[in-house]
Amino acid sequence: MTAATSLLSFAGLVVTLAIVWRQSWPGRLRLFAFQSLLLAVLAATLGVLAGRPRLVLLGLVFLVIKVVVIPRVLYRIGSGMPVRPVAPGKSSGITLLVAGVLIVVAYAVMLPLRTVTALPTAGAIPLAFAMALIGLFLCVTGRDALGHILGFLVFENGIFGLALLATYGLPGIVEAGVFLDVLIIVLIMEGVVGQVRREHESIDEPKLRELRG
């Protein structure tokens, strides 16, 4: 049980680091879909091994939303944009370094949890939390709207992973609410970004700095 879950979490973390590394947004999108897939599998295995049929259903729903629906929406958002960022972006070396530091920070922060719990999956919790922190960092360094949304979604995945590992999922209604919210956020974001692109002619972050002071 612990071996399977920590392996899957570790794989998830590696994929997250890959997302940080990749510059072109289609590549990032595919990696995000893969990460979501890994998390869905994690949910399913937990459901089977820990004897919680609800988790399997949860993993299935997660799969449908995060691997099928949301990437298609993101693809629609990014369709008009150039594949590689025109301006030479920050070298990914520094961002990877910061991601590493964040992993260490995640371990440090999650120490009190390790002492309290006796769950078999306790070992993987810091990994999930690191995934969340890197997602947040991705959001911070996003160069355009798509980068921000992607960062947010990775952050969301990290939290979902943490919820799975720490508490075997949340009560039904809360979980449903969270999925519904995430889905609505992405749909609304698509609408808003569409309007912003029409009005501001671009969704690059430096172009969206008119409101100051």
Partner 1 sequence: MSVLLFGLAAAGGALATVVGVAGMLGAGGSLSLPGLVPLGGIALSLDPLGGLFLAMVGTTAIPASIYAIGYAGGERRGVLAYLAFVSAMGLVPLAANVMTFLIAWELMSLASYFLVLHDRDDPESVDAAWLYAVMSQAGLACLLAGMLLLTAATGSATFADWASAAPDLTPGARVLPLLLLGLGFASKAGVIPLHVWLPRAHPAAPSHVSALMSGVMVKLGIYGLVRASLDWLSPTPVWWGAAVLLAGAVSAVVGILYAVVERDLKRLLAFSSIENVGVILIGLGAGLVFRGVGLGGLAVLAIAAALYHAVNHAAFKSLLFLGAGAVVHATGTRNMNALGGLVTRMPWTAGCFVFGAAAIAALPPLNGFVSEWLIFQALLQNVQMARLELNLTFTFGLAALALTSGLTLACFVKAAGITFLAVPRSDAAARAHEAPVSMRAAMVLLAGACVFLGLGPTLVLPALARLAGPLVGAELPALGDGLTVRISGEFAALSPVALTVVLGAALLAPLVALRLLRASHRTRWYETWACGRMLQTARMEYTATAFSNPFKRVFDFFYRPEKRLDIEFHPDSRFFVERIEYANPTRPLFEEWLYEPALAALSRVAALTRRVQSGSANAYLAYILAALLLLLVLA
Partner 2 sequence: MMLVLLLAVPLVGAGGLAVARGAWLGRLHGLVATLTLTASLAVTVTVYRARDVTALDGFLRADALSAWMVALIGLVAVLAALEAPRYVTTAVAPRFYALFHLFVFTMLLAVTTDDVGFMWVAIEGTTLASVFLVNFERTRASLEASYKYLLICSVGIAVAFLGTVLVYFANVQLFGDEEYALRWTTLLRLAPGLAPQVVQLAFVFLVVGYGTKAGVAPMHTWLPDAHSEAPAPVSALMSGVLLAVGVYAILRFKPVVDLAAGPAFTSRILLGLGLLSMAVAALFLWAPTNFKRMLAYSSVEHVGIACVGLGFGGPWGIAGALLHIANHALAKSTLFLLAGRIRAAYGSADITAVRGLLHPLPRTGGAFLAAMVALMGLPPFGLFTSEVLIFGAGFAKGAIVEAALGLVLLLVAFGGLLRSTQAMLYGVPTGPAPAAASGAWPVAPVTLALLLLILTGVAWPPGLGDALEQLAAIVGP
Q: Shortest distance, CB of residue 100 to partner 2, whole angstroms?
A: 21
Judged by beta carbon, residue 57 or residue 139, the one nearer partner 1 is 139
Q: Shortest distance, CB of residue 128 to partner 2, whole angstroms?
A: 10
CB 208 within 8 A of CB 200: yes
Residue ranges in contact with partner 2 by CB under 8 A: 109, 112-113, 115-117, 132, 136, 139, 145, 148-149, 152, 155-156, 159, 162-163, 166-168, 170-171, 173-174, 177-178, 180-181, 184-185, 188-189, 191-193, 195-196, 199-200, 208, 210-211, 213
Among 39, 148, 166, 193, binds partner 1 (CB under 8 A): 148
Which of 106, 109, 120, 115 minimizes the C-alpha distance to 6? 120
**What is the distance between the alpha carbons of residues 32 and 16, in angstroms, rounded to a whole number?**
8
CB 152 within 8 A of CB 140: no
Give me the 104-133 binding string for partner 1, x by CB under 8 A, dash otherwise: -x---x------------------------
CB 91 within 8 A of CB 209: no
Which of the choices partner 1, partner 2, none does residue 205 contact, using the CB cut-off of 5 to 8 A by kind? partner 1
Cβ atoms within 10 A of the Cβ of 179, count?
A: 17
Q: Shortest distance, CB of residue 208 to partner 1, whole angstroms?
A: 6
Give Cβ neighbours of residue 178 (< 8 Å, ≥ 6 apart): 160, 170
Placement of tokens 């992607």 in the chain = 150
Judged by beta carbon, residue 88 or residue 124, the one nearer partner 2 is 124
